[in-house]
Amino acid sequence: MSLVAEVPSIVSATKPSNGIRVLMNYVNGRWIDSRSTNLQPVMNPSVGQTIAKVPLSVPQDVDDAVASARKTFPVWSNTPVKERVQVFFRYKALMEKHMQELAALVHEENGKTIGESIAEVEKAIEVTEFACSMPQLLSGEVLEVSKGVECRIDRYPVGVVASITPFNFPNMVPNWTIPNALVLGNTMILKPSELVPLSSIRIAELLKEAGLPDGVFNIVHGGQEAVEAICDHPGIDAVTFVGSTKVAKLVYQRSTANLKRALCLGGAKNHLIVLPDAHEDMTASNVAASMSGCAGQRCMAASAMVAVGNVDHIIKKLCDESRKIIPGKNLGAVISKKAKERIEGYITEAEKQGAKVLVDGRNCVVEGKEEGFYVGPTVIDFVKPEMRIAREEVFGPVLAIMRADTVDDALKIENANPYGNAASVFTQSGGAARHVIEHASAGMIGVNIGVPVPREPFSFGGWNDSKFGAGDITGKSSIEFLTKPKKTTIKWNPESKVNWMS
Ligand code: NAD
């Protein structure tokens, strides 16, 4: 039995239609029908079955959500931050209490393993903890700038913030924006990925249970039409987007053309540079885990490895480690049949162009889950930088190995790629590590770490084609994006001298 039919709050956020449940939008604290009759199936990728249908909302649905968020903004933004934050202490506790259920939902709609789903919810809790520290971080900047004259900065919320999220982290990525934006006094509209819309239902329910007033947080389901309506809507002040580079660029251009603030995180092609002095076992297990975790559907996944000099011993060990990753056990499904075909297409094309497939995950079928969308771990050696598999984001459990003679040659390959989310170096030489830290063209760097996600309070965000807009989406950097600074100059003493500054 699917969780969509089992969990009472999800049943109440959906309506039955021909034996399958249809999702509703969440506006002003209530679940309401979308005006759209265009429904898209939501699949369980592990078994290839439809578990629900999601409406592809129309612009009028966005209007409803904006009206709700605008109406509640004056009251919520005027609530002291120390009161607003109390909701998020309770929200965090509720996420912990419902951890298993939240993780089961992620597993069901996304296909990642239960262990990975738990880790995802744990990360969502960590960003919520950061939001709970907001009152401490916001305490003011004030200085006596002339005798008896003071300047101070107060931070005001931007207004209504819309957040558009991808399929690969149905719980964590929405929570990158929700706690920070709301604690800072904004109201919000979430447009979750239409491929994984279920987790957002429980996010809304738990926020309500935690005491968030109705209308502060709203959900509009849908795809391109809803996103375009968000970019165009004059009642929305700021947009955060996480997804592919192609759409990140479109959303950034359209939102900023409409004079909104926008911060749009895009795709990735993360290079791991492996030197001959790297620790053999640690490197092999880290690279294999980075390449295959969440079935390679992470913007921080190792996608390309640049082998410097002779590291054949590490590549052999890496292949051994990769063969221990078993689809359906410690490797989840990819999101769709289309994604499986796309990933396998990249492998076949690289092979035809002369690359050598060392571990082959194509044509993978899991017993008992024959209709699921699985790709096994894949390691391909002797890939050339000009091949498509080396240049483009594959977003599957596939590692393309390129060969380089020197660290600088490896850095040239890394630098030439248009993306810039993450890069890592595996070495025991501090000097070589420092060289890569300084010269890799990426926003997040790892040394002997396959997935260098900065933990809170360090902010998350890449460079180049992996991010459009200033600042990062989490951590202290998010405060700049989600607030407006007001600068006030006060003369406390009427007798103080008048000069050109005061
Ligand atoms: P996607 O770009 O297809 O979709 C993201 C969002 O955009 C969804 O909500 C979707 O409904 C909407 N959308 C899709 N096409 C659109 C269009 N033409 N116009 C307007 N809106 C549209 O991304 P995805 O496949 O859901 O997610 C995977 C991508 O996200 C990968 O490229 C991955 O690297 C990236 N990602 C990046 C980060 C990061 O922090 N940089 C984090 C997670 C995922």
Query: Which atom in ligand 1 lies closest to the alpha carbon of residue 166?
Result: 26
Q: Which long-range contacts (CB under 8 A, 24 or more apart) does 310-314 make?
A: 310/276, 311/274, 311/275, 311/276, 311/278, 313/280, 314/274, 314/278, 314/280, 314/283, 314/284
Quote the CA–CA distance of 435 and 440 in Å, as a whole number. Answer: 8
Nearest CA to ligand 1 atom 17: 224
What is the set of active-site residues? 299
Nearest CA to ligand 1 atom 18: 224
Q: How far is CA 330 from its chain centroid?
A: 22
Strands 49-55, 39-44: pairing kind: antiparallel
Pocket perturbation via mutation, ligand 1, pick of 227, 298, 303 by most ligand atoms within 8 A of CB: 227
pLDDT of the residue at 76:
98
Pocket perturbation via mutation, ligand 1, pick of 168, 303, 474 by most ligand atoms within 8 A of CB: 168
Nearest CA to ligand 1 atom 9: 193
Nearest CA to ligand 1 atom 30: 243
Nearest CA to ligand 1 atom 40: 265
Task: Give residue 222 CA to ligand 1 midpoint distance, Å.
Answer: 13
Burial call 268-297: b when 16+ CB within 10 Å, e when fewer: bbbbbbbbeebeeeebbbbbbbbbbbbbbb
Pocket perturbation via mutation, ligand 1, pick of 244, 252, 303, 468 by most ligand atoms within 8 A of CB: 244
pLDDT of the residue at 48:
97
Task: Give residue 310 CA to ligand 1 midpoint distance, Å.
Answer: 38
Task: Give residue 364 CA to ligand 1 midpoint distance, Å.
Answer: 26
Give 342's DSSP letter.
H
Query: Which atom in ligand 1 lies closest to the alpha carbon of residue 195?
Result: 26
- Integer CA distances (angstroms), 6 to 14, 25, 33, 51, 101, in order: 12, 20, 21, 12, 11
Task: Give residue 354 CA to ligand 1 midpoint distance, Å.
Answer: 31
Task: Give residue 471 CA to ligand 1 midpoint distance, Å.
Answer: 19
pLDDT of the residue at 2:
79
Contact predicate 496/147, CB 8 Å: yes
Task: Give residue 245 CA to ligand 1 midpoint distance, Å.
Answer: 8
Task: Give residue 100 CA to ligand 1 midpoint distance, Å.
Answer: 26
Nearest CA to ligand 1 atom 23: 243
Pocket of ligand 1 (CB under 6 A): 164-168, 173, 191, 193-194, 223-224, 227, 242-244, 247, 250, 265-268, 299, 393, 395, 421, 462, 466
pLDDT of the residue at 498:
66
Pocket perturbation via mutation, ligand 1, pick of 38, 56, 193, 194 by most ligand atoms within 8 A of CB: 193
Query: Which atom in ligand 1 lies closest to the alpha carbon of residue 393?
Result: 32
Contacts of 181 (CB under 8 A, 6+ apart): 161, 163, 188, 240, 482
Contacts of 327 (CB under 8 A, 6+ apart): 333, 361, 364, 366, 374, 375, 376
Task: Give residue 265 CA to ligand 1 midpoint distance, Å.
Answer: 9
> How would you write the pLDDT of the chain (502 residues) with one tens digit per residue?
678 878 878 888 888 888 899 999 999 999 999 999 999 999 999 999 999 999 999 999 999 999 999 999 999 999 999 999 999 999 999 999 999 999 999 999 999 999 999 999 999 999 999 999 999 999 879 999 988 899 999 999 999 999 999 999 999 999 999 999 999 999 999 999 999 999 999 999 999 999 999 999 999 999 999 999 999 999 999 999 999 999 999 999 999 999 999 999 999 999 999 999 999 999 999 999 999 999 999 999 999 999 999 999 999 999 999 999 999 999 999 999 999 999 999 999 999 999 999 999 999 999 999 999 999 999 999 999 999 999 999 999 999 999 999 999 999 999 999 999 999 999 999 999 999 999 999 999 999 999 999 999 999 999 999 999 999 999 999 999 999 999 999 998 776 666 666 5
Query: Which atom in ligand 1 lies closest to the alpha carbon of residue 466?
Result: 41
Nearest CA to ligand 1 atom 38: 299
HEC assignment per residue over 98-161: CHHHHHHHHHHHHCCCHHHHHHHHHHHHHHHHHHHCHHHHHCCEEEEEECCEEEEEEEEECCEE
Query: Which atom in ligand 1 lies closest to the alpha carbon of residue 299?
Result: 34
Task: Give residue 165 CA to ligand 1 midpoint distance, Å.
Answer: 7
What is the length of the chain? 502
Query: Which atom in ligand 1 lies closest to the alpha carbon of residue 194?
Result: 11
Q: Domain 3-267+461-485 maps to which CATH number in 3.40.50.720, 2.130.10.10, 3.40.605.10, 3.40.50.300?
A: 3.40.605.10
Question: Given this chain, do its domains 3-267+461-485 and 270-418+422-447 carry the same CATH topology?
Answer: no
Top CATH class of 270-418+422-447 equals alpha beta
- Domain extents for the chain? 3-267+461-485, 270-418+422-447
